[in-house]
Chain A
Amino acid sequence: MNLKELYQEIILEHGKNPRNLRKTEGFNKDAKGNNPLCGDNVHVYLKLNGQKIVEDASFEGSGCAISMASASIMTDLIKGKNEHEAKEIVEDFLGMIKENPELKSKYLSEDEKTKLMCLSGVKQYPMRVKCATLSWHTMVSAFDEKTEEVKTEN
């Protein structure tokens, strides 16, 4: 267990000043997620253009440093990706948070991988994994236009 690994500067910084913490104007996809155990909630908004590329992504909600940083980094790097690419990145991220030592997706730049790897410290804190993954599951739900609220797995 290493708190320094969990609470890296970049996490604290994103947690404190989350990017894209707003509601995208003219969004065409959105979904809500919540963590019933702790009451944290997130609402993800996506704006896809004619070519189905994410033009803007944003989120509203409240939560711990991990969940806010995760949503912040996610909404930043998903811009410019299409649905297929975004979903592959989600799979890659969820795999890394649970077990994989590294990220493999070809749709992620080295810089993006480094940023995401900052969340890998969560692995050692099983109770906190859901904090890191809630916004990602919610984004998939937005792509799939699911109306049901996402609940984090226990």
Chain B
Amino acid sequence: MNIDQIKKEFPIFDEKIQNNDLVYLDSANSSQKPKIVVDRINEFYTKQFSNVGRSVHYLAVAATNLYENTRSSVQKYINAKDKNEIVFTKGATEALNLVANTLGQSYLQEGDEVLITELEHHSNYVPWHFLRKSKNIKINFAEINEEGEITLEEIEKKITPKTKLISITHLSNVTGAILPVKEITQLAHSKGIIVVVDGCQGAPHLKLDMQDLECDFYAISCHKMYGPTGLGVLYGKKKWLEELPPYQGGGGMINEVKKDRISYGELPNKYEAGTMATAQVIAFDQSIKFLESIGIENVMKHEADLVEYGQELLQKNNSVKLIGNPKNKGGVLSFTIEGVHPHDIATILDEDGVAIRAGHHCCQILHDKLNIPASARASVGVYNTKEDLDQLNDSINNCKKIFNL
């Protein structure tokens, strides 16, 4: 795998950012876009544009085919059993809201319990909180261990006879912990519990196989996966998507509309009301092609090497404290520096062209648990190199110098 070559596929790295070469270490937030994805959006709008699934003219038919083609590519990429198990949404957030909302409408009952974890992003907590408010369901939290992991044993401990659903992240966006999703799903299913996975960090960085994982739902954020913004994917087992009620009502999701009755369309239209993010869906096919051209095994190896290198580098740096030390770790390095607030770190690093994120990363529950208001986070993607992490370390040293540490 030739990183120089891969980096060349991303036009942003030709740009100078405040006169610096860009050291982009914020891919857990959103990834940069390869040229083929950007070009595909442009090409679709300039040469092929039409709305999909409605008109019979040439452009509409062609656009519909392109749109459905991405659905097939996603199905293949995540090894879903059926093409209709792939639903496009406006993001992973909407995907998780869709699941919580529809399960809340027709499956979860007052007093039922939902088990999530202390690692969850707000988008995998707030939708369940809505049900806590509206349906009086209870939310339980599986707790992290010293290393910032969620173990199978902890999940097992927190399951009660009332647990109806477990909703967990595949890969923590703060500690980098990769959760044993397959084992958790097996355990959950043996007790009749549904499993929802927030795959925002998992999908861009791990090999996905829905038939192997066996989870009931899996939410994907396309913009973190070298794809366009405004697009997410919800994988749902066919039996669930068929059984659950629609999420939003509007054009495209209906079968028949009369003054006194309405029947809903078949999958996947049932969950895709209104005009969808057509150009983004069509361009996302190129993101998958991009990942396939490298091979996810190669991506995983490259990112594991990077994170190991970065971890060693930061561990050796006095006054830097890494958050979490999970055995199975994705490409996330969250840290604090004694005496320097993360926002100050991020501003100082930015001056060298090093883009990281500072704050609570939409994980206030986790930061409360760690007893820190915020952290700094460097996260890697397929285009990063060891030199990027060296620059990170150098800029951290500059930050310490400014703060007289």
Residues of A at under 8 Å CB distance from B? 1, 3, 6-7, 12, 16, 37-41, 62-66, 68, 125, 127-128, 131
Q: B367 near A: Cβ within 8 Å? A: yes
A40–B373 CA distance with the chains assembled, in angstroms:
7
- A contact residues around B373 at 8 Å (CB): 39-41, 62-63
A3-B402, A7-B402 in contact; A38/B358 too (CB < 8 A)?
yes
Q: Is the CB of B402 within 8 A of A128?
A: no
Q: How far, in whole Å, are A7 and B348 apart by their CA atoms in the complex?
A: 9
B106 to chain A, nearest CB (A): 33
Using a Cβ cutoff of 8 Å, how many contacts connect chains A and B?
A: 51
B33 at interface, CB cutoff 8 A? no
Q: Which residues of the other chain, B, contact A1 by a CB distance below 8 angstroms?
A: 18, 351
Q: How far is the CA of A103 from the CA of B344 in the complex (A)?
A: 25
B359 & A39 in contact (Cβ 8 Å cutoff): yes
Stretch at the interface among B171-179, B229-237, B319-327, B335-343: B335-343
Q: Are A39 and B402 also in contact (CB < 8 A) when A63-B341, A125-B347, A128-B347 are?
A: no
Which B residues are in CB contact (< 8 Å) with A64? 341-344
B374 at the interface (CB under 8 A from A): yes
Interface residues of B (CB under 8 A from A): 18, 339-344, 347-348, 351, 358-360, 364, 367, 373-374, 402-404
Query: Is the Cβ of B344 less than 8 Å from the Cβ of A66?
Result: yes
B340 surroundings in chain A (CB, below 8 A)? 65
- Most chain A CB neighbours (cut-off 10 Å) among B347, B348, B358, B360: B347
Within 8 Å CB of B374, what residues of A? 38-40
Q: Determine if B404 and A39 form an interchain contact, defined as CB atoms under 8 angstroms apart.
A: no
On chain A, the residues within 8 Å of B347 by CB distance are 3, 6, 125, 127-128
* Nearest-neighbor residue (CB-CB) of A3 within chain B: B351
Give 19 A-B contacts (CB < 8 Å), ordered by A residue.
Answer: A3-B351, A7-B344, A7-B348, A12-B404, A16-B339, A37-B359, A38-B358, A38-B360, A39-B367, A40-B374, A64-B343, A64-B344, A65-B344, A65-B403, A66-B344, A125-B347, A128-B343, A128-B347, A131-B343
User: Distance (Å) between the CB of B123 and the closest chain A CB?
Assistant: 15
* B142 shortest CB reach to chain A, Å: 23
- Are B367 and A3 neighbours in the complex by a CB distance under 8 Å? no
In Å, the complex CA distance between A66 and B344 comes to 8
Considering the chains assembled together, what is the distance between the CA atoms of A17 and B374 in angstroms?
20
A39–B360 touching, CB < 8 Å: yes
Specify which chain B residues have a CB less than 8 angstroms from the CB of A12 in the assembled complex. 402-404
By a CB distance below 8 angstroms, the chain A residues around B18 are: 1
